[in-house]
C-alpha cells in the first residue's frame, strides 16, 4: 500500500480467484455485484443482523483528524451533519448558484486564452465576497449544536473532497480524450454544433450533451478519482454478517475497491479500453444508476455484457458522496466550455501519464502538459 501499487495488484487477484479476495489476515476485497449494497447500503432483511457496517476506524480516525462528515461513525450524528450540509448541495441551491459556477468557468477560459497566446504569471481573478456554505453553517452553529472543530473539519473535508477529485477527473478525461482522437472529434462535433456562444452553455443546456456525459462516465470508470475501496468493519460483537453470499466474521474489514471493480472483466467488455459508447447503450432506466438495478444495462449491442449499474464512483447508501450533483455540474460545464473554446493536444503524445501513476487514497499524479489552440467562436 505504501508504494501505491495495491490498487493495481488487486485486479489480477480477482481475475484469478474470483469476486472475493483476502488481502490481509483481517481484510477482504469484493468485486461481486451484491457487495455494493451489502457493505455500504442499509442492511435489511432476515439475513442482516447489522443495520449498517461502521467505517473502519484505522482508516478514518487517524491521529490529528478533526471530526467531519467523512470520518463520523455515529449514525445519528452523521445524519444530523449530513442534513445540515445537504442544503448546500441540493438541486435548488445549484440552480440558485449557477452564476457562481459559470463565473469560475468563464474565469478559467479567460485565463487559458491569455496563456495560450502569451506567457503570463497572472493568477485568476476570484470574487471572495460570495457567501458560501460555511458562512451559512456559522450562522446556524448554535441551533445545530456544531462545535468549532466540526465546522473546521467539515470545511477542510469538503475542500479536499470537492476540489482535488473533480480536478483529477478532468485531468484524466483530458488525457483520455487526447489519446483517443476519434472520441475527441465526436465530442467536438457535439459541443460545437449545439452552441453558438459561451453564454449558451448553461447547467441546463449541457444536460442535452449525451456523448459528453458518456465521456465523463467512461473516464470515471477508467480513472476513478478515488481508486481505493473505502473500508467498513464487521462489528466484532455481530457474530458475523453475510456479504455477497459469504459469511464474514466480526472484526474483518471489507471494501469494494473502485479501480478493480471498474476493470473486472466479468463486468465489462474490453475493460482496459476507453469506449464512451458503452454508456450510450443504456437500457430502460434513467437518472442516477443504482447498483443491482439491471434496467440500466442494455441487453443488445457491442457492449451488451457491461454492468453499467456497478459504476458507483460516488459510492452508495446513506453515506454516499453529498457532492455528486455538484461534481457532475462542474465537470459538464468546464468540459463543454473547454471543448467549445480550444483544440487540445498532448505536448508529449507518447507519454503514458495515466498508466505510470500510483495510488493511495487519491492518485499520485504528475503535471499533464497540453497544447491549447483557441478556436474562433
pLDDT of residue 74: 77
Distance of CA 217 to CAs 84, 92, 93, 198, 310, Å?
Answer: 29, 24, 24, 24, 12
Q: Is residue 302 part of a domain?
A: yes
Residue 321 assigned to a binding site: yes
Parallel, antiparallel, or unpaired for β 27-30 and 20-24?
A: antiparallel
Q: Kind and range of the H or E element at 162? A: helix 148-179
Q: What is the DSSP letter of 54?
A: P
Q: Is residue 318 part of a domain?
A: yes
Total domains in the chain come to 1
pLDDT of residue 367: 92
Digit-coded pLDDT (tens) for 59-112:
776 645 666 777 777 788 788 788 877 877 888 888 888 998 999 999 999 998
Q: Is residue 69 part of a domain?
A: yes
Q: Is residue 14 part of a domain?
A: yes
Which residues are within 8 A (CB) of 9 and not within 5 positions of it... i.e. 6 or more apart? none
Q: Is residue 59 part of a domain?
A: yes
Q: Kind and range of the H or E element at 361? A: none
The whole domain housing 21 covers: 6-374
pLDDT of residue 185: 98
203 in Cβ contact with 98 (< 8 Å): yes
pLDDT of residue 163: 66
With H, G, I as helix, E, B as strand and everything else as coil, classify residue 20: strand
pLDDT of residue 128: 36
Residue indicated by cell numbers 442535452: 208
**CATH code of 235's domain:** 1.10.630.10
Q: Is residue 364 part of a domain?
A: yes
Residue indicated by cell numbers 468546464: 334
pLDDT of residue 127: 38
Q: Is residue 1 part of a domain?
A: no
Give this prediction's pTM: 0.86
Q: Is residue 235 part of a domain?
A: yes
Q: Tell me how far apart the alpha carbons of residues 293 and 41 are, in angstroms, rounded to a whole number.
A: 14
Positions of the chain with pLDDT under 50: 46, 63, 120-130, 284
Amino acid at each position: 500500500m505504501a508504494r501505491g501499487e495495491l490498487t493495481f495488484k488487486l485486479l489480477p487477484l480477482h481475475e484469478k480467484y474470483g469476486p472475493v479476495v483476502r488481502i490481509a489476515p483481517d481484510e477482504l476485497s469484493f468485486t461481486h455485484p451484491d457487495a455494493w449494497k451489502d457493505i455500504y447500503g442499509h442492511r435489511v432483511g432476515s439475513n442482516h443482523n447489522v443495520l449498517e457496517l461502521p467505517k473502519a476506524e484505522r482508516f478514518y480516525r487517524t491521529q490529528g483528524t478533526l471530526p467531519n462528515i467523512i470520518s463520523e461513525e455515529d449514525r445519528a450524528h452523521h445524519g444530523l451533519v449530513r442534513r445540515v450540509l445537504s442544503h448546500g448541495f441540493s438541486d435548488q441551491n445549484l440552480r440558485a448558484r449557477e452564476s457562481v459556477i459559470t463565473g469560475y468557468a468563464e474565469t478559467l477560459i479567460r485565463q487559458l486564452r491569455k496563456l495560450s497566446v502569451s506567457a503570463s504569471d497572472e493568477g485568476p481573478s476570484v470574487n471572495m465576497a460570495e457567501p458560501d456554505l460555511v458562512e451559512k453553517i456559522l450562522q446556524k452553529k448554535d441551533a445545530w449544536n456544531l462545535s468549532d472543530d466540526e465546522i473546521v473539519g467539515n470545511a477542510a473535508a469538503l475542500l479536499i473532497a470537492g476540489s482535488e477529485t473533480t480536478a483529477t477527473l478532468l485531468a484524466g478525461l483530458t488525457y483520455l480524450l487526447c489519446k483517443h482522437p476519434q472520441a475527441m472529434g465526436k465530442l467536438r462535433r457535439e459541443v460545437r454544433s449545439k452552441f453558438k456562444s459561451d453564454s449558451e452553455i448553461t447547467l441546463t443546456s449541457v444536460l442535452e450533451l449525451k456523448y459528453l456525459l458518456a465521456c465523463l462516465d467512461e473516464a470515471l470508470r477508467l480513472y476513478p478519482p478515488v481508486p481505493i475501496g473505502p473500508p467498513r468493519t464487521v462489528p466484532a460483537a455481530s457474530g458475523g454478517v453475510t456479504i455477497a453470499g459469504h459469511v464474514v466474521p466480526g472484526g474483518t474489514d471489507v471494501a469494494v475497491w473502485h479501480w478493480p471493480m471498474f476493470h473486472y472483466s466479468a463486468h465489462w467488455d474490453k475493460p482496459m479500453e476507453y469506449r464512451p459508447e458503452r454508456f450510450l447503450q443504456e437500457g430502460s432506466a434513467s437518472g442516477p444508476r443504482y447498483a443491482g438495478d439491471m434496467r440500466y444495462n442494455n441487453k443488445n449491442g457491442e457492449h451488451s455484457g457491461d454492468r453499467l449499474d456497478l459504476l458507483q464512483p460516488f459510492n452508495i447508501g446513506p453515506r454516499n458522496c453529498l457532492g455528486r450533483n455538484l461534481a457532475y455540474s462542474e465537470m459538464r460545464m468546464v468540459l463543454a466550455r473547454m471543448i467549445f473554446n480550444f483544440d487540445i493536444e498532448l505536448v508529449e503524445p507518447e507519454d503514458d501519464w495515466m498508466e505510470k501513476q500510483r495510488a493511495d487514497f487519491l492518485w499520485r499524479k504528475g503535471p499533464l502538459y497540453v497544447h491549447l489552440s483557441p478556436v474562433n467562436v
